[in-house]
Amino acid sequence: MKPEMPRARRQRRVLPAEVRTGHLIAAAAELFLSKGLDATTVDDIVARAGVAKGTFYHYFTTKADVLLALRARFSQDFNSRAQAAIDACAPDDHHARFRAWLRGAVSAYVANFRLHDVVFHDFTHDRRRSQEKDMVIDQLAALLDAGQKAGAWNLPDTRAAAFILFDGMHGVVDDAIASARLDPEPLCEILEDMLGRMLIR
């Protein structure tokens, strides 16, 4: 009888924390969209992510914490898409960079409005500031400030202009979504014309 060969020891695969949290956040996003926020449980999330319940509680305390992480990720992705559009333009063509931001922002919002409505469902006017909106406004204000310094336009207050431009874009896109007009191209054309007039010297 041949001696039994020792079995190869299986090494446990340990995923980095950001990968594990990413799986949990992605699973939560899918469930929030398909089942609704209130109907989704922590058990549902760990089952969809394929992890133990203890893994969930290692990174998050409650379902609300996952929602906050999803909200932050949504805003980061929104900014990243807009920034990629901006970076594709010449650094000294400030009007083109604004149009690129506008198109990136409109496209990102239209493509992800269902998730947006889930993660920002509890935003009310008594919350005057939010870290997520500040992130978007800071990006646009920096773009406007660079154009101001280069003499591309003359605005009395670039941060105030950023709020007007962002909220104007947001309102027009919200109205289009409510009317099931989900093609971003005509929205971009309207907004480029109307908002772009603010930036003409």
The torsion defined by the Cα of 82, 177, 167 and 30, in degrees rounded to 10, comes to -60
Q: Per-residue pLDDT tens, the chain, 201 aa: give them.
A: 555 555 545 444 555 667 788 899 999 999 999 998 889 999 999 999 998 899 999 999 999 899 989 988 888 999 998 999 999 999 999 999 999 999 999 999 999 999 888 888 765 544 555 777 889 999 999 999 999 999 999 999 999 999 999 999 999 999 999 999 999 999 999 999 999 998 987
Hey, what domains does the chain have and what are their CATH numbers?
13-61 (1.10.10.60), 71-199 (1.10.357.10)
Q: Which pLDDT belongs to residue 119?
A: 83
- How many other CB atoms are there within 10 angstroms of residue 138's CB atom? 13
Q: Which pLDDT belongs to residue 5?
A: 52
**pTM surpassing 0.85?**
no
C-alpha–C-alpha distance, residues 170 and 165, integer Å: 9
